[in-house]
Each structure stands twice: as C-alpha cells, then as structure tokens.
Amino acid sequence: MQTTRRNILKLSTAAGALTALQNCAPSDSSGSAPAPSATNANPTIEQLDQAAAAPLLNLDGITSPVIIDSIQLLQRGKEQIVQVRSKDGAEGISFTNGRPNFRAVLEDRIIPFFIGKDARLLESELLFALYRHRSNYKLQGLGFWSAQTWVEFAILDMLGRVAGKSISELFGGGVRKEVPFYVASGRRDSTPEEEVDYLTQLIEETGAKSVKFRLGGRMSRNQDAMPGRTEGLIRLARKTFGDAIDIHGDANSSYDPPEAIKVGRILEEVNAVFFEEPCPFDHLEDTKKVADALTIPVAGGEQEFSDRRFRWMIHNRAVDIVQPDLHYYGGMIRSLRVARMAALAGMPTTPHISGGFGFVYVLHFVACVDDVGSYQEYKRGIERYKDWFEPALEIKDGALSIPTGPGVGIKDIKAVLSETKPIA
C-alpha cells in the first residue's frame, strides 16, 4: 500500500468517527433513534445509508402544530429574503444566495407545496414529499435545491423561535462556540505579486490566519489564467506569509489528473491545507485518481446535488474532505446527512457557501458537526449583520463567533423586514 496522507487518515480518524456521529443527533428523549456507531473508517454502503437516515431535528417542546400560512419573497436592497408565517403568527426569515434565475422554481414549485403544512414535519415528511410533488425530482439540480433551501432555512428560523432554540441547537448544537476561518480571493486576473498584495489586505482587514486563492483558469482544460501564474502564486504566497498563514488552493475544475497531480505536488511542497476541486467537479473518477496520488487532502462537492454521488465519493474516498454547499445541495438537513456519512468514514465536512449572509448558516452548521476541518470559508460581510445578533457577532483571533439566539439568531426580524418590499 502506498503511504499517503489518505491511508494515514483512514487509520487515525476511525476512533473519532463515533464522537462525530453522536453530535447533531436528537437526544434520546426525542424518541429518535441515535446515530449508528462507527466501527471502522471503511463503512459499507448500508452503513452509510443508515447514518444518513438517522433523524436530526429535535423539536421537543413544540407540542402544537405550526401550520404554514404564507411564504413570500422580499427585496431588501440588493438582497432577497424569504419570509414564512404560521397561522398562529410565528414567523421566520432566510436570505437567499442571490440567484434570481431560481425564482420561478421557488414560486411555482416550492411555496405552494408548503402552504397549509405542519412545519414540525419538515424533516420526517415534507422534504421527501416535496421531492415527489408534481414530479419535482425531474427538476433536481442547483436551481431546485437552492429554492428548497431558502424555504427550509426560513422554516428552521421560525421553528427555532417557537422552541426558543438556535438553529444549531435544533440539531444538537454545542460542539463549538467559535470557528477559525480562511478569507478567500476569487480573482484570476491578477499576477502572483498583485494577488499576494490583495491577500495581505484581506488578512489585515479580517484578522484571518489562513487564505485561499484560485489556481488554473477555471474549467480551463489545463490552461493557466496567465502563463506561470499558478506555480508562481503558490510559491510566492508561502515565501511572503511564511508559516504564520495557512494556505488553500482552489482549481475550480481546471485540470485533468496528470496536470492536477503536478499542481498538487507544488501545494504539498508548501504544506497547503487542502487542494479544492482539482478536476471538473462531476469527473469523480478523475478526482479520485488525484486524491489517491497526493498526500495533500483533496476537497470537493460544492457543485454536487445528488446524495448518491456524495455517498459514492465517501465510500470510494474520491475526496478527503466533502464540501456540500448549504444552498446548492438543498439545505441544512441534507447537508448534515452528508456530514453523518463522512463522519462514519472519518472524513471532515467543510461546507461551501455563497457570500452575503451565507456565512451565518455555515456557523450554525459547524456548531453541531464534530469534524469540519481546520478552517471555514468567510467571504466577509460581518459588519453588515453583526449588530442584528445578541450578543453581536464578532471576529476574534481569526475566528468567528457562533450565534446563540433563537432561530438564526437575529434578535429583531421585524426591523429587518421593515426595510423590505414584496417582489412583484
């Protein structure tokens, strides 16, 4: 057997998988079955399915039906908000990922289904019923799952407010109170020198102890964004930041396996944290070839929307770190099911998220998943939202605090809603 970090991880993480599975699980008092026990880092398909199927939501204390009366899409400046209200006047909100082209799915397929339903049945009945409703499974993809997510997040916010618990507490919560983050640059039009200068600005602005930058040309069939940029940037970043700053590289589907392995070796030389999406995101076998060849962990999954393909990635160890996007993959519940499977295999789950308010949902996710990797992505914006929370969200020593208030944690959603208007 080739000695790689992947083989070492398989042996070293098995013992910790049971602890990871026990988090984000309802207590025994909820009447739900506990998460399955981890026995090794090579679970069977059946064991992965069992882990994913174990109930997540704990709605103890909500004894009366919470019947959904209305759901509407609202505009607040450049942001879009989904508001849900119950017949008894409870309400919750969520922020979309800013994809207006998904609006038709939301209004035609998602909202009508939920009207008149008991929100307490969200996990146990409604999500799968929605998938079957009007053959919605024929639409599954990033557009459908994102629209579902917007409503799910709003319902979870409402349920949390009814129960007096944060969203993370509804799923077990309490694993951590803060989370270290990396700050990411999305640029490819910069020289290595320009990019390192920009990354330095981001570090100074946020206090981050880690960064991520773009490699390759983005879905570019091995072409670099400019000649020599990728290798030059990797080496210059390490030379400039030394050991004080951890680095991550994201190829955004740029390479075939041989080229990805070459780039991965350079990342290994500078001791990078992980190599994200080296091959086209749906070329799972190619990604596995890269992951098998390298010692640096390979991360992937941000574009994925199939639970069976995530299961394949985990069962076949096509990646070392799974990255469901909380919007694109369909919400907190589906993403936590991926985390359950990954935990059984001793693999971290480091979620992907869009910008804006999205980092707040990541904070709730990582509050109840044991192994989320070393850092979470932060695309900035805390200054726009921090004072909505009590206590206020803060950055301290390169880490973000996790909201503790009911629902998503916004203390006065009426004040937020007062600045919105319905989208005609």
156 and 178 in a common domain: no
pLDDT at 271: 98
% of the chain at pLDDT higher than 90: 87
Whether pLDDT at 290 is above 90: yes
> 384-419, pLDDT tens digit by residue?
999 999 999 999 999 999 999 999 999 999 999 999
Residue 20 lies in a domain: no
318 and 217 in a common domain: yes
Residue 21 lies in a domain: no
pLDDT at 127: 98
Over range 324-347, report the average pLDDT. 97
256 and 128 in a common domain: no
Residue 15 lies in a domain: no
Residue 390 lies in a domain: yes
Joined tokens for residue 390:
């009590």
Question: Which residues, other chains included, contact 107 with Cβ-Cβ below 8 Å and sequence gap of 6+?
Answer: 73
- Highest average pLDDT, of 4-8, 23-27, 230-234, comes from 230-234
174 and 160 in a common domain: no
Q: Where are the alpha helices (DSSP H) in 26-117?
A: 45-53, 103-105, 111-114
Whether pLDDT at 99 is above 90: no
Query: Residue 295: is it exposed, middle or buried by C-beta count within 10 angstroms (0-12/13-18/19+)?
Result: middle
Joined tokens for residue 408:
């998503």
pLDDT at 12: 44
Over range 354-369, report the average pLDDT. 95
pLDDT at 20: 46
204 and 288 in a common domain: yes
* DSSP code string of 321-336: EE--BTTTTT-HHHHH
Which helix or strand (DSSP H or E) is residue 159 part of? helix 142-163
% of the chain at pLDDT higher than 70: 91
| Separation CA 75–CA 286 (nearest Å) | 42
Residue 28 lies in a domain: no
7 or 93: which leads in pLDDT: 93
| Separation CA 145–CA 297 (nearest Å) | 28
Question: Pairing state of beta strands 421-422 and 275-276?
Answer: unpaired
Joined tokens for residue 401:
């605090």
Q: How confident is the model at residue 29 (pLDDT cuts 50, 70, 90)?
A: very low
pLDDT at 101: 84
> 294-320, pLDDT tens digit by residue?
999 999 999 999 999 999 999 999 999
pLDDT at 6: 54
283 and 350 in a common domain: yes
Residue 371 lies in a domain: yes
Which strand ranges, in their side-by-side order, compose the sheet holding 79-86? 91-95, 79-86, 68-76, 421-422
395 and 358 in a common domain: yes
Q: How confident is the model at residue 41 (pLDDT cuts 50, 70, 90)?
A: confident
Whether pLDDT at 92 is above 80: yes
Whether pLDDT at 8 is above 50: no
191 and 147 in a common domain: no
As a whole number, the mean pLDDT across the chain is 92
Joined tokens for residue 359:
């980092």
Q: How confident is the model at residue 355 (pLDDT cuts 50, 70, 90)?
A: confident
Whether pLDDT at 24 is above 70: no
179 and 149 in a common domain: no
pLDDT at 61: 87
We report the CATH number of the domain holding residue 365 as 3.20.20.120
| Separation CA 180–CA 400 (nearest Å) | 6
| Residue 49 one-letter amino acid | D
158 and 200 in a common domain: no
Closest CA to 145 of 185, 80, 99: 99
Residue 29 lies in a domain: no
299 and 246 in a common domain: yes
| Separation CA 210–CA 377 (nearest Å) | 10
Domain count for the chain, please give it: 2
135 and 201 in a common domain: no
| Residue 139 one-letter amino acid | L
Whether pLDDT at 32 is above 50: no
Whether pLDDT at 37 is above 70: no
Range of the domain at 392: 170-401
We report the CATH number of the domain holding residue 108 as 3.30.390.10
Residue 304 lies in a domain: yes
Output the pTM of the full model.
Answer: 0.92
Question: Quick check: 273 and 248 in contact, CB under 8 A?
Answer: yes
